[in-house]
Structure 1
Amino acid sequence: MSTVAPTDAGAMKRRLGMSDAVVIGLGSMIGAGIFAALGPAAGAAGSGLLLALALAAVVAYCNATSSARLAALYPQSGGTYVYGRVRLGAFWGYLAGWAFVVGKTASCAAMALTVGAYVWPGQAHAVAVTAVVALTAVNYAGVQKSALLTRVIVAVVLAVLIAVVVAALTSAEADTARLHIGSDATICGVLQAAGLLFFAFAGYARIATLGEEVRDPARTIPRAIPIALGITLAVYTLVATAVLAVLGSGGLADASAPLSDAVRAAGTDWLVPAVRVGGAVAALGSLLALILGVSRTTLAMARDRHLPHALAVVHPRFGVPHRAELAVGSIVALLAATTDVRGAIGFSSFGVLVYYAIANASAFTLHGGRSSRFVPVTGLAGCAALAIALPWSTVLSGTAVLLLGACLYGVRKARATGARQ
């Protein structure tokens, strides 16, 4: 099957190489999730936290592999919105795009609020809005500047995480007995924790959504995605092991700032300010990459008139979808000023899992033997299991929003049919 060409008046320039793509993926994954998700995940999984991390990584690997195969065939902006449309039909592509844009817009708000919580807790909403405006301006100025800033952010966050790991594992409080799986770990708890931890892995799709801006995408994207995912898994495993060793699953579940509490327990209080800075910088990195990815999927949907076609414009000088970026930035700023971080994260997780379920279903239709279909089947089943295991309030609200999107699609299709008649 041939690739799909963009249909708008302008095409974006291919400026990103392998290292840029990997760094953007790292900036999307190694972000605020590891600073915030460990506590709630430990509360759900107990001593089964590392098992939940492994399960989330398996699902993420399947999703990444499916996404990489599809991105090599369809190297244009939009990610699973494009894959679902071509492989499964227009409705499934639309639903994937809807789930991504709505879910990730909520995630943008959550990351912005995380920045505010770390920088100035008393004025978290004001700081969040300021961060959204500033990073939207960075993205507007061109994707190469975004990639450069992401390199700096990734370097800072990795340095902080390495410091936390070394401090925790070399302290007198570290106890490997706390890493053993006990009777408090249940199947349902591990599944729910994996769903929460999956939120921290989901950024590898950002590489695929930049398909029109990557040089030699058929070669670059399938390599960049697993490299970024592998590095992220190694970092997360080290951090989770170190924090568990000093706090235990009970102490971790009760921690409002797990990494800060871990360095305190390790007797290295002087690291706490650095961890706070790391948390803020990590959230900024995630927010930067999220706005980048959501705007590209918005561009793809606007090209097909599933969103206002006025958004399907590429800036003649900067080579970015500037109207889509401004629209996304405005909505995220509004959400950051009015919503709370926990609800935004839960809703985002559900939408992202639906998005990847459609990606796996799309990859299942590609030519290949049984071995090539094992991965998408496993990924699809894993996405469904983790989505259902999320809190019921999240599942119900997420399902309601998906149904709303389906209704809007039906109305648009009915109008288009009536116009042709």
Structure 2
Amino acid sequence: MSDAVVVGLGAMIGAGIFAALGPAARAAGSWLPAGLALAGAVAYCNAMSSARLAALHPESGGTYVYGRERLGDFWGWLAGWAFVVGKTASCAAMALTVGVYAWPEQAHAVAVAAVVALTAVNCAGVRKSALVTRVIVAAVLAVLAAVVVACLSSDTAGAAPGSAAAGVTPGGVLQAAGLLFFAFAGYARIATLGEEVRDPARTIPRAVPVALGIALAVYAAVALSVLGVLGPGGLAEATAPLADAVAAAGVPWLGPVVRAGAVVAALGSLLALILGISRTTLAMARDGRLPRTLSAVHPRTGVPHHAEMAVGALVAVVAATADLRGAIGFSSFGVLAYYAVANAAAWTLGTPVARITAGCGLLGCAALAFSLPAASVAGGAGTLAAGAVVYALVRSRERRRDTRG
């Protein structure tokens, strides 16, 4: 089970915690920890629903497959579309995280350069090995531990001015949870390990809560310590909150270490995300749901190079034009829509336990998605509507082709 837990931590402990605390604090103020707990609870329901579905449908494609098999072709398509657009925004957010921590004054230029470089790495067939994942997780955990110790041992801990409780609304806490959901991105990676672990029916349901529990504990420690030093107002305005927190704690020499840790975490996440999106794009192109040219595989490297380059180009455009908070919100909306389909599919399994988890997950996804900033909701809903239109056009073309045949 330990390997499955490490895989889950490798997917979760990354750049999200370096980027999402500021936007979430702007929404929830001193109630930020409540938003974090709610995000973790929704993530748990989603991951358990995905684990149950993965045991029955051990195929590549995740909810794209589960939705198609359990709910119908349209819902599978919509899940795949939501995944691609949501994770594309995640890539942009990761790239922008590299920029704001590495060179804040040129954040967009650095973000675009990072996307171009890692797209080239992926096209060359380079993979992030399990050993590299472990090293990155260990390094990031060490940096986060240093941030917590520096903040809690500082004379300023607990002295930062708080925000008035009257200014916080339930909607603000929900919005913070939706934004912090971004920091749990990748948790359901454990659910896809059905063919890679012994006794998956027993191991995966045990590994999911352990990995999520560890990640939630780490995030809570970081959030509380940073909140204590910067205060809700200072945290809300911070562009690089963890680096700002150690500076405010009187440990300025730790700032470059924190910035380097954020850059390493974000680059590792970005490399894996671009690879994952291109593979989902490849699967959808092979099914005729996206242009067939995206299904091309390089004869030497075995890489879907057309999909890699298309994804990289799209991410670069978003990274050049979006701000970090907008990218996080849009990403969260798309990924929450994706897991809403997963929970709806898990509801059809029929067992009482599965339905309780799936029902809570579905309601949680909907509540968090529609509590996000208005621009994120409008952009996300519009993108899903565009996906539905594309599906209708593709199906119409297929029906005409079948009629002629």
Same fold by TM-score, threshold 0.5 exceeded?
A: yes
Range with bigger deviation, 373-382 or 253-262: 253-262
In the TM superposition, residue 324 of structure 1 has moved relative to its aligned partner by 2.8
After TM superposition, list the pairs within 5 Å mapping 1:82-97 onto structure 2.
Answer: 82-97=65-80
For 1:77 and 1:143, locate their aligned partners in 2 and report how far apart those are by CA, in whole Å.
20
Q: Supply the AA of the counterpart residue of 2:147.
A: V
For 1:217 and 1:247, locate their aligned partners in 2 and report how far apart those are by CA, in whole Å.
46
Instruction: Indicate the residue corresponding to 2:187 in structure 1.
Output: 204
In the TM superposition, residue 149 of structure 1 has moved relative to its aligned partner by 3.0
For 1:340 and 1:177, locate their aligned partners in 2 and report how far apart those are by CA, in whole Å.
27
- Picking from 285, 293, 300, the partner of 2:283 is 300
Q: Supply the AA of the counterpart residue of 2:40.
A: A
Instruction: Indicate the residue corresponding to 2:381 in structure 1.
Output: 399
Q: Supply the AA of the counterpart residue of 1:239.
A: V
In the TM superposition, residue 269 of structure 1 has moved relative to its aligned partner by 1.5
Q: Supply the AA of the counterpart residue of 1:92.
A: W
In the TM superposition, residue 183 of structure 1 has moved relative to its aligned partner by 3.6
Q: Supply the AA of the counterpart residue of 1:159.
A: A
Q: Contact (CA 8 Å) 2:47, 2:191: kept in 1 or not?
A: no
Instruction: Indicate the residue corresponding to 2:54 in structure 1.
Output: 71
For 1:209 and 1:293, locate their aligned partners in 2 and report how far apart those are by CA, in whole Å.
13
1:38 aligns with 2:38: no
Q: What RMSD over aligned residues (CA atoms) do the two structures have, in Å?
A: 2.7
For residues 180-224 of structure 1, give each alpha carbon's deviation from its aligned partner in whole angstroms, at most 9, with x where no partner exists.
994443211111111111111122234556878x46694565555
Instruction: Indicate the residue corresponding to 2:358 in structure 1.
Output: 376
- Picking from 95, 99, 108, the partner of 1:112 is 95
For 1:127 and 1:394, locate their aligned partners in 2 and report how far apart those are by CA, in whole Å.
24
In the TM superposition, residue 29 of structure 1 has moved relative to its aligned partner by 2.1
Range with bigger deviation, 378-387 or 267-276: 267-276
Instruction: Indicate the residue corresponding to 2:241 in structure 1.
Output: 258
Q: Supply the AA of the counterpart residue of 1:97.
A: G
Q: Supply the AA of the counterpart residue of 1:293.
A: G
Q: Give identity over the alignment, percent.
A: 69
Q: Contact (CA 8 Å) 1:45, 1:185: kept in 2 or not?
A: yes
Q: Supply the AA of the counterpart residue of 1:416.
A: E
Q: CA, structure 1 residues 380+236, in 2 after alignment: closer, same or farther (shift >3 Å)? A: same
**What are the ranges of 5 or more consecutive residues in structure 2 without an aligned counterpart?**
none
In the TM superposition, residue 379 of structure 1 has moved relative to its aligned partner by 0.4
Instruction: Indicate the residue corresponding to 1:413 in structure 2.
Output: 395
Q: CA, structure 1 residues 61+324, in 2 after alignment: closer, same or farther (shift >3 Å)? A: same
Q: Contact (CA 8 Å) 2:125, 2:303: kept in 1 or not?
A: yes
In the TM superposition, residue 258 of structure 1 has moved relative to its aligned partner by 1.9
Q: Contact (CA 8 Å) 2:78, 2:388: kept in 1 or not?
A: yes
For residues 375-410 of structure 1, give each alpha carbon's deviation from its aligned partner in whole angstroms, at most 9, with x where no partner exists.
110000001001111122221121111111101100
Query: What is the TM-score of this pair, normalised by structure 1?
Result: 0.87
Q: CA, structure 1 residues 332+223, in 2 after alignment: closer, same or farther (shift >3 Å)? A: farther
For 2:24 and 2:387, locate their aligned partners in 1 and report how far apart those are by CA, in whole Å.
30
